[in-house]
Amino acid sequence: MKNSRSDAYAAAGVDITAGYRAVELMKKHIASTRTEGVCSDIGGFGGMFELDLTDIKKPILVSGTDGVGTKLRLAFLMDKHDTVGIDCVAMCVNDIICGGAKPLFFLDYIACGKNVPERMEAIVKGVCDGCIQSGAALIGGETAEMPGFYPEDEYDLAGYVTGVVDKDKIIDNATMEAGDVVIALPSSGVHSNGFSLVRKVFDVENADIKSPVAELGGKSIGETLLTPTRIYVKPVLQLIGEVNVKGISHITGGGFYENIPRSIPDGLCAKIDKASVKVLPIFDLIAKTGGISERDMFNTFNMGVGMSIVVAKEDADKALQILQDAGEEPYVIGEIVKGESKIELI
């Protein structure tokens, strides 16, 4: 690449050599995500992955794509870029695990106003951290420098994951029935949803978001909001291997009311005990500061529950123990009952 340089392109705002420098800085992080299936190196025109079908009789590929959304505004304001990549991976892998799919590989896309190699490295380091947490390999990506389209200090970040599940082991809620138990996996905070409302409530563009806040245990609003999204892949895969999991919901935008019903079949309803939900302090502060109703809070945010899992009542204790052994702090938040509404918060 030493001979690749365009003075005319540079004059238009695109520094090709900065892109090469960024890739060199990323390589050590990308290498840390390599798994046995990877059979290509960064720099080619496409990432290659060899699918191991051992113990998989009917392989089904499951794909997901997502971005970080306006949470990126907090990264810009805090000038902290090494965790939003975890959010990007989490939003993708937490979705496909709901069907029982094991993540295989990940691709990222970064569009920016100016390619600052060290900033690109920090972003991709976060992506790689998320890949390691989920067991996926980062096998490719794209960094697009777009002067005049994005401000120099801003960027957008999106990703794509592919996973695999045996067709006979897809989690499809077919066996769910009244009496089943709903288990919660705690979130780490707001995760990566509802930030348009969060930014409005705290007026983040103009307010002091860097000073300690007593209600947040001495952390600042900015620091708390940038807490990366939890990745649930490995604990959930462990659970799936030992217990008949009947349904999983990733609690994202739309909160409880939109996401939990997505894993509930017609004729059944998830009856959730609001008092059992371990609401995190950041949500209390959002509700208080913005004067937001409880209904709207549960219909916008995860409220401290990043994922819900449905198992048979007789499997509940075993499921809780498996998840605890995997490093989670699960607890029961409700049960499945007969009903047409699919979700009821009492």
Mean pLDDT estimate for the chain:
96
Q: Rounded to whole angstroms, how far apart are CA atoms 232 and 250?
A: 9
Whether the CB-CB separation of 147 and 112 falls below 8 Å is answered with no
SS3 of residue 307 by DSSP: strand
What element of type H or E holds 21? helix 16-31
pLDDT at 1 over 80: no
- Name residue, tokens 């960024």: 22
Q: Rounded to whole angstroms, how far apart are CA atoms 81 and 85?
A: 8
Q: Rounded to whole angstroms, how far apart are CA atoms 16 and 273?
A: 55
Q: What is the token pair recorded at 56?
A: 């998989």
Q: Rounded to whole angstroms, how far apart are CA atoms 125 and 28?
A: 9
HSE at residue 111, side-chain half, CA atoms within 13 A, is: 11
Q: Rounded to whole angstroms, how far apart are CA atoms 259 and 187?
A: 15
Q: What is the token pair recorded at 142?
A: 């794209």
pLDDT at 2 over 70: no
pLDDT at 186 over 70: yes
Per-residue pLDDT, 42 = 83
pLDDT at 41 over 90: no
Nearest residue to 336 via CA among 309, 318, 317: 309
- Give the pLDDT band (50/70/90) at residue 13: confident
pLDDT at 127 over 80: yes
The model's pTM is 0.96
Q: Rounded to whole angstroms, how far apart are CA atoms 309 and 298?
A: 17
In this predicted model, what pLDDT tens digit does every residue of 242-291 receive, in sequence order?
999 999 999 999 999 999 999 999 999 999 999 999 999 999 999 999 99
Q: What is the DSSP string of 150-189?
A: B-TT-EEEEEEEEEEEEGGG---STT--TT-EEEEEE-SS
In this predicted model, what pLDDT tens digit does every residue of 72-104 receive, in sequence order?
999 999 999 999 999 999 999 999 999 999 999
Q: How many other CB atoms are there within 10 angstroms of residue 338's CB atom?
A: 11
In this predicted model, what pLDDT tens digit does every residue of 48-57 receive, in sequence order?
999 999 999 9
Q: Rounded to whole angstroms, how far apart are CA atoms 56 and 208?
A: 53
**Do strands 137-145 and 102-112 pair parallel, antiparallel, or not at all (unpaired)?**
parallel
Q: Rounded to whole angstroms, how far apart are CA atoms 303 and 314?
A: 27
CA 322, 324, 328, 332 torsion-angle sign: positive
Q: Rounded to whole angstroms, how far apart are CA atoms 159 and 34?
A: 17
pLDDT at 8 over 90: no
